[in-house]
Amino acid sequence: MTLRTKTSLLLACTVVLAVTLTGYFYLQLLQSTIRKSIFDKAEDISGATASAIAVFLDDTLRDAQVAAATIPSRVLEEWDVAEIERRLSSMMKLYPKFENGLFVLDSKGTLQLDYPPHHGVRGRSFEFREYFKRTMKEGKGIIGIPYRSARTGEPVLTFTAPLRRTSGEIIGLLGCSVKLLSDQALGGIGKKGFGESGYVYVFDTSRLNILHTDKDRVLERDVPPGANNLFDAAVEGFEGTGETVDSQGIHMLVSLKRVPESNWIVGVQQTAEEAFAPIREARLRIALFLAIGVLVAFLAGTVVIRRITYPLFQLRRAAMSISAESLETPKPVGDRDLNLWEKLDSIRSGDEIGELAQTLKEMYEKLGQTLLSLKRSAKDWERTFDSVPEAIFILDKQNNVRRLNRAAANLLRMDFREAIGRHCYKLFRKDDSVPDYCPDEGELKDKKPAVLEVDEPSLGGIFRMIITPLTDDAGNSVGAVLVLSNITAAKRAEEALRESELRYRSLFLEAQDALFLIKNKAYIDCNPAAERLFRCSREEMLGSSPVKFFPEFQSDGSSSSDLLNTMDLADFSGHPLRFEWMHKAKGGHLFDAEVSISRVYIRGEATFLMLVRDITEQKHVREILMKEQKRLASILDGIPLPTIMIDRNHRVLFWNRSSELTSGVPREKVLNQPLDLGHLYNDQKRPILANLILDLTDEELLARYGEKGLRKIEESPEAFGTVDRIWTNGKERVVALIATRLRDAGGEVVGAIQCAQDITEREQLQQKLQQVQRIEALATLAGGIAHDFNNLLMAIQGHVSLMLVDTSSSARYVEKLKSINRLVRSGAELTRQLLGFARAGKYDVRPLSINELIEYSSDMFGRTRREIEIHKQLEPNAWTVEADRGQIEQVLLNIYVNAWQAMPDGGKLLIRTESVTVHADTAQLWGLRPGRYLKIVIADTGIGMDEGTLKRIFDPFFTTKERGRGTGLGLASAYGIIKNHGGYIDVASQKGKGSSFTIYLPASGKPVSLETKGSDVPQKGTETILFVDDEMEILEVGEQILRTLGYRPLVARNGAEALDIYRDNMSGIDLVILDMIMPGMSGGETHDALKKMDPRVKVLLCSGYSLDGQANEILKRGCDGFLQKPFDITTLSIKLREILSAKTVR
C-alpha cells in the first residue's frame, strides 16, 4: 500500500472520528445547556410567583391592621355600631380588595357587625374559626387558612387584626375577607400559564390546594402521600426543580418554591414531553449534520491528499535517480544528467515539497563545490582556534602540551614554542607537584569529557577546566583537549547570588501568604503557605496549570481561564497586576483571594511570581460593613430631621432626604464639598456647629459660645446643642441643633454629624404657656381683689337696703339711696368681670342652647349697630352646653363690641356654630378633655391686630382704647369665663385682615331648662338664724337686715365661735348663714363640723367669690344654698325662705 493511499485513509478516518466526537460532545453540551435553561425558567416563574404572593399577603395583612387602627378604642368600648359601620364603609372604599366583606368579632367570637351587612349573620358565634383562635392566642393579626364561605360557597381568605381597649386589652378582632380567586387576590396568578401544558398552582404543608387551574381541586386535599414524590418533598421543606410522575401517572417537570414567612408552596408544572421537546429536536438535527459532515469530509480528504502528495511522488523518482549517480568527483554543469535535471525542474509545487526539490537541485549543483572548499576550511579552523578567548591546550597521553592557542599562551605569559612539549602542571604551578585535575590514564580511557573547577593562584584566579579525551580512528586514546575559562568574577557573582537566593528562599518559604513561581503557564514552585491554603502537597501542584485550582467560572460569570491572558498582560506591560479571583482548593472548597502577579528574573530567566491571599473573611467583613453602611444610610435618610455628616476636612459625606427638603439643595451638589449653609442664613456667613466641634476643644467651645446658648449634652460627652434661626421656603424657623464628633476604632476624630429639629411650633407654644401662666397669676390677684371689694360693697349694700326699707327716716334721701344702690350694683358688675377673668365667677349653671343665645344677643346687638352686617351660620340641632347664661352672653357681647370697635366704617360679622369632637392629641395641646364640644367662631372684617396686641389681648386691664374709654376687662373676663366652663378660647388675626375668635365649650346631653322669674318683694320670717362672718361691718349690717325681716339673729365672728353657739342652741337654730373665706377655721371646715354635730342643720353659704371650685365642693357635701356678695335685702329674704320652706327629712 503506497504512502498516498495510507495518508488518504488516515485523514479520512481522523476527520470522521473528529467530527463524530465533536458532534457527540456538542450534543451533550447543548442538551445540558437547554436542560439547565428549562429548569432555570421554571425556577424563575416559581420564585417570581412566590414573591408576588408574599407581597400580596404582607400588604393585605398590613392594610387590615391599618383598617383596625382607624377604629378608636372609645368607639369599640361603647360598641357604637353606627360609627363602626361608617368606618368599615370607608375602609371598603379605600381597600376594594376586601370585597368579601369586613366584620367585627368580640372577645368571645360573636359577630357583632359586618359590612356590607348580611341578614342573619350578626350575633352568630365564630369562635370555632381557626383565625379567631390564633388571633386571640397570639395577640396579633394573622393570615387565616383558606376556606369556602358558608354564605357564597367561594374560596375566601381572612386577614385579622386585634381590636384593643384604651388599656391595651384585646376587645375583639377585625376580620377582612378576600375572595381567593378574585383578580385583586390570587385569581390573576392562577390564570397564568406557559406553553400548552404548563400552569401554576399553590398548596400548603397540610396538602391543601389553595390555587389550581382546575377550580374543582381548590381547597381539596387530593394528593395523598406517595402519589407525587416532589409534592411530598416540598411538604417536608424541599425547594427546587425536578422531574416526577404526578398523581395521574404523567411524567412532569416541576419547580417548587416556598412563599416566604408562610407554609404556602408555589408549584410550576409542565409535562416533560413538552418541556424537553427542544432537546429531542436538537439531537435529531445534530445527527443529520454529522452524517452529512462525515461523508463530505471523507470525499474531500481523499481528493486533497492525492493532490498534495503528487509532487512528493515525482520527487521520490528524482531522488532515486540521484542515488544511482557517483558523487566521488563533482562534475561540471555541462556534464550533468540532463534527464535528472529536467525531472527536478518539472516538480512545480509551492510548499515544502517544491522547496525540497529545489534544494535537491542546488545540492546536486553545489556538492562538488563543497568538496573543493574543505581545504580552505582547514586554514579557517586554525584562525578560529587562535581567536577563541578561552585557553585551549591539546595534550598527549603523558599530559605534554602538543598545541595551544593564543589565549593559552597569554595565560601562561610565554611564547607558543616555549610551552610545546612541556608538562601542563609545570606550566600551571611552576613546580613539579602534580595537581589532582591533571587527566590521568583512567579518565582518558573513559573517553568522556570532564568538567572541573580549579582554584589556581599561580594562574591568577578560579578556572573552569573542560577535559575532552582524543581518540584515533581505532578508538584508542591519544591525548586530551584542555580548555580553561577564567570564571573568577562569575564565581564571586554566583556566590553572591547563592546567598541572595538563600535569603529570598527563606522569605519565600516562611511567607504567610501563598506564593507560586509560574513559568510556561505552569507552577514550578510554591511555598508551604500555598500547600496549607490549597490543602494539597507541593508535588501535587508543581507542573499544574493555575487553572486547575480555579472554578470553571468566576462569581461574575467570566471564565477562570482568562487569568492566563492576564498573566500575558503582565508579561507585556512589565507592571504588577492586582485583582480579586476565586480559587478552588483540593476537595472543591471555594474561597475568594486577592492575587498579585509580577514578573521576576531567576538566573536571568523571566518568571512570574504570584501571591494568593485568602480574603474570604475579609470580604465577608467588607460585605457586612457595606450592608451596615447602606443600612445606616437608609436609617439616616429615613430620619425626619435634617441630618448631615462631614469628614475631618469639613467635606460633606452624607446629606439626608430631610436636608434636601429643608434646604432645597439636592445631595448631589453638596457631597464631597466643603459644608456651607449660607443659603439658610440669607447668605450670611455664620459659624456651623458641626465645623466648630471639629476645630475647637470643649473648653474653647463653651468659652466662646456658652453665653450665646451653646450647651453640652450630658447624655453624650461628644455632643453639643444650641438653638438657632434659619430661613427655609421664605419663612424664618426656629431649630434645635445637635452635633457630635465621630471617632474611629482607635479613638481618632474622623468627622462629625449634625441634626436639626424644627421647634418653631414648640417655641410658639412655650410663649403661649408663659402668657397663660402670666394671665393665671393676674387672675389670682384679680380674684382676691374682687373678693375683698365684694365684702366692702356688701356692707354698703346692706346699709342702703336697710335705709330704703325704713322709708320714714329716709324719705328725703330715697333717690340718693337708690343712686348709691345702682352704683353698688355697677361695682358688683365690675367685680363679676374680675371674678370671671379669675375663673371664679360661675353662678347659675344650667343646660342652654348656644344657638338661641346667639340669636338673642346678636339681634339685640345688631339693632344698636346698624352699620354692621351680621351673618349667622348656626348648625341645626347643635349640641347644648351647661353654662351660666349671663356669663356666656357677656362673653359674646364683649367679642361683638370688640369687633364693632375694629370696624369704625362698618363691616361684616360672621357667627358660626358647629358640633365637633376633640381628639386626645388636640385636647392635650389645648388643655381640654377629649370629647364632644360646641365650637363657636366669631370673625370680623376689621382692621386686625399686630403681633404685640395679639400676645396681650386677654391680659386684664389691657386696652387699645384711649384713657377713660374702657376698663380692659372685657376680653380678659371672656377668657376666664370660658376657661372656668372647661372650654378653650383663641384668637387669630392679621393686621388689615380682620380677627377671628374661636370658642370650644363642653357639650351636654341634657335638655334646655326654662327660666323662672322671682319676686321683687322681701319675704319675712320668724325663725332663729346664726350669721357667721369675720368682717364686723358685714356682721353688724347682716344682723340688722335679719331683724328687719323678722328673724331672730345670732352672730359669730369665726368658725369656732359659731360651733360653740350652735352647740348651746342646737334645737333653737333653724339656719346658719356661713361665710366661706375666714381665718382659722374656714367656711368649709365649719360646715363639715356643723354637719357632723347635726346632720339636719341647714346652711346658706355666702362669699365674695362665686359658685365655683371650693364653694361647689361644699354644696356637694350637703350645703343647702349659696349667695354671692354683695346681696340686697330682697335677694337674701328670697333665698332664706327658699331654704327654710324646704322639707327636712327627720
Identify whether the C-beta of residue 697 lies closer than 8 Å to the C-beta of residue 711. Answer: no
DSSP per-residue string spanning 754-779? EEEEE-HHHHHHHHHHHHHHHHHHHH
Identify whether the C-beta of residue 1062 lies closer than 8 Å to the C-beta of residue 1098. Answer: no
The answer on 749 and 649 residing in a single domain is yes
| pLDDT higher than threshold 60 for residue 183 | yes
DSSP per-residue string spanning 420-465? TTSBHHHHHHSSSPPPTTS--HHHHHHT--EEEEEEEGGGTEEEEE
Task: Please report which confidence band the pLDDT of residue 807 belongs to, taking 50, 70 and 90 as the band edges.
Answer: low
In a domain? residue 799: no
Distance of alpha carbon 355 from alpha carbon 689, whole angstroms: 90
Chain centroid to Cα 607, Å, comes to 51
Nearest to 729 by CA among 764, 804, 679, 763: 679
Distance of alpha carbon 104 from alpha carbon 261, whole angstroms: 26
Last residue of a domain, one of 1011, 1041, 1059: 1011
In a domain? residue 64: no
pLDDT of residue 1115: 87
Exposure pattern of 622-635 as b/e (b: 16+ CB <10 Å)? eeeeeeeeeeeeee
Output the pTM of the full model: 0.34
Single-letter residue type at 158 = T
CA dihedral 724, 727, 731, 734 (to 10 degrees): -10
pLDDT of residue 872: 93
Q: Which residues contact 117 (CB under 8 A, 6 or more apart)?
A: 85
Identify whether the C-beta of residue 880 lies closer than 8 Å to the C-beta of residue 1006. Answer: yes
The answer on 630 and 609 residing in a single domain is no
In a domain? residue 1036: yes
Instruction: Give whole-number Cα distances, 434 to 190, 315, 700, 786, in Å.
Output: 106, 62, 94, 146
In a domain? residue 27: no
Residue 590 DSSP code: E
The answer on 1126 and 1061 residing in a single domain is yes
Last residue of a domain, one of 1011, 1032, 1066: 1011
Q: Which residues contact 3 (CB under 8 A, 6 or more apart)?
A: 309, 312
* Residue 1079 exposed, middle or buried by CB count within 10 Å (0-12, 13-18, 19+): exposed
In the block, residue with C-alpha cell 456651607: 676
Range list of β-strands (E), 920-962: 931-940
Nine cell digits for residue 1108: 365655683
Lowest-pLDDT range, 220-229, 683-692, 935-944, 996-1005?
A: 683-692
Task: Output 536 or 188, whichever has higher pLDDT.
Answer: 536
Q: Which residues contact 573 (CB under 8 A, 6 or more apart)?
A: none
pLDDT of residue 692: 87
Distance of alpha carbon 524 from alpha carbon 607, whole angstroms: 9
| pLDDT higher than threshold 70 for residue 795 | no
Give the sign of the dihedral formed by CA 528, CA 533, CA 539, CA 544.
negative
HSE of 969, CA atoms in CB hemisphere, 13 A: 20
| pLDDT higher than threshold 80 for residue 779 | no
The Cβ of residue 1042 has, within 10 Å, a number of other Cβ atoms equal to 24
Distance of alpha carbon 1103 from alpha carbon 1078, whole angstroms: 10
pLDDT of residue 956: 67
The answer on 979 and 860 residing in a single domain is yes
Identify whether the C-beta of residue 983 lies closer than 8 Å to the C-beta of residue 999. Answer: yes
pLDDT of residue 328: 46
pLDDT of residue 1049: 93
The answer on 740 and 625 residing in a single domain is yes
Mean pLDDT over 1107-1118 rounds to 80
In a domain? residue 379: no
Nearest to 1018 by CA among 1051, 1042, 1048: 1042
Q: Is there a cis peptide before residue 116, judged by omega within 30 degrees of 0?
A: yes
Quick: pLDDT tens for 537-548.
999 899 998 888
Exposure pattern of 925-947 as b/e (b: 16+ CB <10 Å)? eeebeeeebbbbebbbbbbbbee
How many helices (H) does the chain have, and how many strands (E)? Answer: 36, 39
Identify whether the C-beta of residue 911 lies closer than 8 Å to the C-beta of residue 947. Answer: no
In a domain? residue 1032: yes
The answer on 597 and 508 residing in a single domain is yes
Strand 1121-1124: give its sheet, edge to edge: 1048-1052, 1024-1028, 1071-1075, 1099-1103, 1121-1124
Task: Output 62 or 963, whichever has higher pLDDT.
Answer: 62
CATH number of the domain to which 477 belongs: 3.30.450.20
3-state secondary structure (DSSP) of residue 839: coil
The answer on 992 and 851 residing in a single domain is yes
DSSP per-residue string spanning 495-563? HHHHHHHHHHHHHHHH-SSEEEEEETTEEEEE-HHHHHHHTS-HHHHTT--GGGGS-SB-TTS-BTTHH
**942 backbone dihedrals φ, ψ, rounded to 5°:** -80, -160
Task: Please report which confidence band the pLDDT of residue 330 belongs to, taking 50, 70 and 90 as the band edges.
Answer: very low
In a domain? residue 1098: yes
Report strand pairing: 1048-1052 vs 1024-1028: parallel
| pLDDT higher than threshold 70 for residue 976 | yes
Distance of alpha carbon 713 from alpha carbon 652, whole angstroms: 23
| Plot region of 507 (φ>0 → left; ψ -120 to 50 → alpha; else → beta) | alpha
The answer on 649 and 741 residing in a single domain is yes
The answer on 473 and 511 residing in a single domain is no
Quick: pLDDT tens for 416-445.
788 888 887 777 776 666 776 777 655 666
Last residue of a domain, one of 486, 507, 537: 486
The answer on 1045 and 922 residing in a single domain is no
Angle at 1068 between CA 1064 and CA 1069, to 5 degrees: 85
Task: Please report which confidence band the pLDDT of residue 840 belongs to, taking 50, 70 and 90 as the band edges.
Answer: very low
Distance of alpha carbon 161 from alpha carbon 103, whole angstroms: 11
Identify whether the C-beta of residue 581 lies closer than 8 Å to the C-beta of residue 563. Answer: yes
pLDDT of residue 836: 54
Report strand pairing: 652-655 vs 711-712: unpaired
Quick: pLDDT tens for 65-113.
888 888 888 888 888 888 888 888 888 888 888 888 999 999 999 998 8
Instruction: Give whole-number Cα distances, 506 to 528, 543, 1026, in Å.
Output: 11, 22, 120
The Cβ of residue 648 has, within 10 Å, a number of other Cβ atoms equal to 13
Nearest to 231 by CA among 208, 215, 214: 208
Nearest to 283 by CA among 26, 36, 27, 17: 27
CATH number of the domain to which 979 belongs: 3.30.565.10
In a domain? residue 414: yes
For 318, the domain range is 280-372
Mean pLDDT over 492-502 rounds to 75
Strand 522-526: give its sheet, edge to edge: 522-526, 514-519, 605-614, 590-602, 577-584
Nine cell digits for residue 725: 434661626
Quick: pLDDT tens for 881-917.
998 887 888 889 889 988 998 898 889 999 999 999 9
Q: Which residues contact 988 (CB under 8 A, 6 or more apart)?
A: 995, 996, 998
* Residue 1145 exposed, middle or buried by CB count within 10 Å (0-12, 13-18, 19+): exposed
The angle that helices 885-901 and 970-980 make with each other, rounded to 10 degrees, is 140
Mean pLDDT over 555-560 rounds to 82
Measure CA of the first residue to CA of the last residue in the chain; give whole Å. 154
Number of domains in the chain: 8
Task: Please report which confidence band the pLDDT of residue 965 belongs to, taking 50, 70 and 90 as the band edges.
Answer: very low
The answer on 215 and 126 residing in a single domain is no
Nine cell digits for residue 44: 424563575
What are the helix (H) ranges across 252-327? 272-275, 277-323
The answer on 598 and 527 residing in a single domain is yes
3-state secondary structure (DSSP) of residue 467: strand
Rg (CA), the chain: 58
Single-letter residue type at 314 = Q
Nearest to 887 by CA among 839, 957, 826, 926: 839
